[in-house]
């Protein structure tokens, strides 16, 4: 374990821990939907629909196994549970791989024949609302979304719920995502750092010193100048953490000093960051072929033992697979000055919003199914329930994917770190009573960490993510200190975006890459002017009109 950080992080439980889940189902209810009418304020529905209600939907498939032998999309653990315990019969019309969902849904919407509930992208949400094809959910959400569901939505950020509103009405339940937990974390190869006696990267100067040393001081000891100090890919996704350290925000909309929305990639701070990357490239700290390397190729460079520092996400699993015998440590993105670095993220959605077809008799059933998913996927502490509804280790089946309605907590993996931290710091195993309060996944991760620390396992990836001072700790430190900045534009693409944004993005990537590889810095100023002329000014106007309307 690595010291040098502040003491134990305080739990963020008040913001992230869900409330008690749905109570048991009652068998003897009246005909038609059994919805309590005596008190219609916010509440859970513990009733079973009698007679059962039937709802149609569509869905996606995973590459990983999902269904047991003999099961399918309409007959599986989740559909049987919803039918038998809640009186909700869910029938899927079709399933497709996730990358085909938007196109398939577009065709479905164009046909005018939509199911009772399904996932809609932000653009599709607007189309459906304008065509009066979906139900407003403001009242349904206020009355029937449980505290558990609301906690997950609120944790995702206020902009997520606002993105689901049109003309002040909530038109869909956000399928919350993990964008916040996927922000940039700096990973440094520890054996190289210690060999060269380098400081931990607490400042940008520390980061730059490490990058220079890793490139020029033969950290692998082979006597050849064949290593690089900092990993970059052709899309510059791996540069985002460094950009953020210079207070530059690539590809998102931020607020300028006047409170207006401005495109982050064209701000002066970006030029400063590019100047430093150009300097690093010129001195051999960056792979000269980065401009043709996808992210996977950069990780191959790591596996070849040629790279020792990279911005990635909370997990070190890919680093472990590439260098199983070399530990990497996680650090927060350092700042280039006295202001803390703010790490950027996009709208915290997974695909879009759960929408309900106009006229569906029981729209609240979507809220109930969302609550069941949150209960079984996040709050459950029972091993048998975990194996039945979440993940079966023996068959490696992702059973949770069968759930018809899903929401993702913003910090699930980071929370594992904070829940295990007291035991890891004290060196004392949790008591049986304390273990019973952990989720099955948390108990599993704790066991894996202890196995590594005791020498029973060589797999350091779990401790790198969920151990003390791991990637999870870094994420929670960002949260604790308010160091995340979301994309401030979360509306549907504007007219000019639809027409010109793709071309402007290509222009941006081309110019930024050329500058890093040695083009004059003045090319950035020319790029800004060209970006504005080719549609950027019009997009900025539209974005600010949208912001004013909100």
Tens digit of each residue's pLDDT (9 = 90 or more) over 163-215: 999 999 999 999 999 999 999 999 999 999 999 999 999 999 999 999 999 99
Considering the domain architecture, whether residues 46 and 149 belong to the same structural domain is answered as yes
Considering the domain architecture, whether residues 378 and 425 belong to the same structural domain is answered as no
In this model, does residue 278 exceed pLDDT 50?
A: yes
Contact 45, 22 (CB under 8 A): yes
381 preceded by a cis bond (ω within 30 of 0)? no
Considering the domain architecture, whether residues 230 and 203 belong to the same structural domain is answered as yes
Instruction: Specify the CATH number for the domain of residue 242.
Output: 3.40.190.10
> Which of the listed residues 402, 425, 448 is the one where a domain comes to its end?
402
Considering the domain architecture, whether residues 331 and 366 belong to the same structural domain is answered as no
Considering the domain architecture, whether residues 338 and 253 belong to the same structural domain is answered as yes
- Structural domain includes residue 547: no
Considering the domain architecture, whether residues 149 and 203 belong to the same structural domain is answered as no
User: What are 464-514's pLDDT values in tens digits?
Assistant: 999 999 999 999 999 999 999 999 999 989 999 999 999 999 999 999 999
Considering the domain architecture, whether residues 217 and 234 belong to the same structural domain is answered as yes
Percent of the chain clearing pLDDT 70 (strictly above): 92
- Structural domain includes residue 10: no
**pTM for the model:** 0.89
**Number of structural domains, the chain?**
3
Q: Tell me, what's the pLDDT at 337?
A: 98
Q: Structural domain of residue 89, as residue ranges?
A: 19-179+348-402
Considering the domain architecture, whether residues 217 and 340 belong to the same structural domain is answered as yes
Q: Tell me, what's the pLDDT at 45?
A: 58
Q: Tell me, what's the pLDDT at 393?
A: 86
User: What are 299-317's pLDDT values in tens digits?
Assistant: 999 999 999 999 999 999 9
> Which of the listed residues 452, 485, 518 is the one where a domain comes to its end?
485
Considering the domain architecture, whether residues 42 and 164 belong to the same structural domain is answered as yes
- Structural domain includes residue 87: yes
Distances (CA, A) of 44 to 34, 146, 174, 369, 416: 12, 6, 19, 11, 27
Q: What is the mean pLDDT of residues 357-385?
A: 97
In this model, does residue 121 exceed pLDDT 90?
A: yes
> Which of the listed residues 384, 402, 420 is the one where a domain comes to its end?
402
- Structural domain includes residue 492: no
- Token reading at 387: 């194996």
- Structural domain includes residue 72: yes
- Structural domain includes residue 503: no
- Structural domain includes residue 533: no
DSSP 25-79: PBS---SS-----S--SS----B--SSPEEEEEEEEE-SS--SPTT-BTTBSHHH
Considering the domain architecture, whether residues 58 and 144 belong to the same structural domain is answered as yes
Considering the domain architecture, whether residues 174 and 188 belong to the same structural domain is answered as no
* CA-based nearest residue to 360, from 527, 117, 121: 117
Q: How confident is the model at residue 44 (pLDDT cuts 50, 70, 90)?
A: low
Considering the domain architecture, whether residues 270 and 371 belong to the same structural domain is answered as no
Q: What is the mean pLDDT of residues 230-244?
A: 97
Q: How confident is the model at residue 268 (pLDDT cuts 50, 70, 90)?
A: very high
């Amino acid at each position: 374990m690595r010291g040098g950080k502040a003491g134990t992080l305080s739990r963020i439980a008040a913001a992230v821990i869900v409330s008690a889940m749905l109570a048991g189902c009652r068998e003897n209810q009246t005909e038609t939907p059994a919805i309590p009418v005596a008190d219609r304020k916010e509440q859970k529905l513990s009733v079973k629909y009698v007679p059962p209600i039937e709802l149609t939907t569509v869905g996606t498939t995973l590459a990983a196994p999902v269904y047991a032998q003999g099961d399918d999309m309409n007959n599986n653990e989740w559909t049987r549970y919803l039918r038998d315990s809640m009186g909700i019969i869910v029938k899927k019309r079709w399933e497709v791989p996730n990358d085909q969902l938007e196109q398939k849904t577009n065709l479905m919407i164009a046909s005018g024949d939509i199911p009772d509930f399904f996932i809609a992208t932000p653009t599709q949400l607007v189309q459906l609302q304008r065509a009066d094809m979906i139900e407003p959910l403001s009242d349904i959400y206020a009355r029937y979304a449980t505290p558990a569901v609301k906690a997950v939505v609120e944790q995702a950020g206020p902009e997520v719920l606002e993105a689901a509103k049109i003309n002040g009405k909530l038109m869909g339940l956000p399928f919350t995502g993990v964008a916040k937990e996927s922000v940039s974390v700096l990973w440094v190869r520890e054996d190289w750092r210690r060999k060269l006696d380098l400081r931990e990267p607490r400042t940008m100067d520390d980061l730059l010193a490490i990058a220079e040393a890793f490139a020029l001081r033969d950290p692998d000891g082979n006597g050849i100048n064949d290593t690089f100090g900092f990993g970059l890919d052709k899309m510059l996704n791996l540069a985002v953490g460094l950009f953020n350290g210079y207070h530059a925000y690539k590809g998102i909309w931020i607020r300028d000093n006047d409170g207006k929305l401005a495109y982050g990639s064209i701000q002066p701070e970006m030029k400063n960051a590019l100047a430093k990357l150009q300097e690093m490239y010129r001195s051999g700290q960056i792979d000269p072929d980065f401009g043709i390397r996808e992210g996977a190729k950069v990780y191959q460079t790591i596996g070849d033992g040629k790279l020792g520092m990279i911005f990635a996400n909370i997990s070190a699993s890919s680093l472990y697979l590439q260098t199983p015998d070399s530990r990497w440590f996680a650090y927060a993105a350092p700042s280039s000055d006295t202001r803390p670095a703010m790490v950027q993220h996009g709208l915290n959605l997974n695909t879009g919003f759960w929408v309900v077809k106009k006229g569906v008799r029981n729209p609240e059933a979507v809220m109930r199914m969302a609550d069941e998913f949150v209960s079984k996927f996040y709050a459950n502490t029972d091993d048998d329930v975990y194996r039945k509804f979440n993940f079966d280790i023996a068959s490696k089946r992702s059973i949770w994917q069968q759930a018809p309605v899903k929401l993702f907590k913003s910090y699930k993996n980071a929370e594992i770190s904070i829940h295990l931290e007291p035991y890891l710091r004290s060196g004392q195993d949790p008591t049986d009573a304390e273990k019973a309060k952990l989720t099955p996944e948390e108990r599993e991760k704790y066991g894996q960490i202890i196995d590594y620390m005791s020498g029973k396992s060589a797999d350091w990836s779990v401790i790198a993510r969920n151990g003390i001072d791991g990637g999870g700790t870094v994420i929670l430190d960002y949260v604790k200190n308010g160091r995340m900045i979301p994309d401030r534009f979360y509306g549907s693409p504007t007219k000019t975006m639809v027409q010109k944004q793709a071309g402007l993005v290509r222009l941006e990537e081309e110019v930024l890459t050329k500058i890093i590889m040695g083009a004059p810095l003045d090319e950035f100023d020319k790029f800004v002017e060209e970006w504005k002329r080719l549609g950027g000014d019009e997009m900025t106007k539209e974005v600010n009109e949208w912001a004013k309307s909100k």
